[in-house]
Copies of this chain bind each other. A is one copy, B any other.
């Protein structure tokens, strides 16, 4: 596997654009378009939130036939809780983009991210979509145009054998596992049927995005969508799944590291649990605990909070067998303090990433969860968002 520069335009036959059309007052980019030169097989996973954004409903219907050719995303306004007008606006966005691109309305994936409860400024969408075809390129600012409170672009591309996978993602707050908890758009030139693509995508998402949490809130708008245009021909499916796992996991880490106000990426690996579900529950319970996240922000090796979070997880484990490591330092030995040197551990915690390993010592199943610390910055960002 080889890492490439560029992102969604690294696979053959994809072009994109990122531009400012006036939805965000700040003047930053707020419209992203990704287009394949040929009709592609497509699959997507969606938020588990029962309140779903209008664009999700439109996209779900467009993807019923497993085909798509373009993705149109706006940032700034999420078009959620907007009733019938919201659905009409999402539909019109797809229709206008399709007309400009010379493709079918039904082959356009639409997505929106930003404030809930506001209507899309359709006049700006209409004028913004004009002549988009002529502005498409393989070297665009598309990754920037889907961001909201993110501080960093999230993009990746990998090449394996004859195929390439590229991806861009967005997500910083309102992020919590369960089916597509942010926006991520993946392109590939591999030839794979939409049915298989759906299976591969679900496998990867369960190991990556669904094991990541920033703040327990699963957004109303978010999705992971993949377009496979087949221009590279048939591929080794095992290698494709591996490459897709890698892309999704790396994107999850990039999102977690850029969590609202975060100063640290946290990776929690639970080892040797009785079942995979237990390992997942334990890892997620730790990564979602506000108290754990605050302690890690403060470089405080307060391991009791990890045990407490594990106890709340509903997973089976024996407290008095558990070993806990911060990086390679053993903090807890068989359920009680290892008499570690707090000064040393504080020092190793004072970095931009912390790997925590929990050894359950009862079985053979493992899981890894991704998250970030909780800081003053999180409060600051979220106490002043809409107004």
Contacts and interface: CB of A to CB of B under 8 A. Distances in A.
Taken together, the copies of this chain in the complex come to 2
A128 interface: no
B312 A217 contact: yes
Nearest to A117: B304
B383 A51 contact: no
Interface residues of A, number: 67
Interface string A250-261: 000000000000
Nearest to A384: B298
Interface in A217-241: 217-220
A215 B295 CA distance: 14
B374 A312 contact: no
Contacts of A218: 308, 311-312
Interface stretch (A18-26, A76-84, A100-108, A157-165): A76-84
A311 B220 contact: yes
A304 B115 contact: yes
Contact of A82 (B332, B336, B382): B336
Between A218, A219, A289, A290, the greatest number of chain B beta carbons within 10 A of the residue's beta carbon is seen for A290
Interface in A306-341: 307-314, 317, 319-320, 332, 335-337
B307 A116 contact: yes
Interface in A161-189: 173-174, 176
Contacts of A80: 304, 307-308
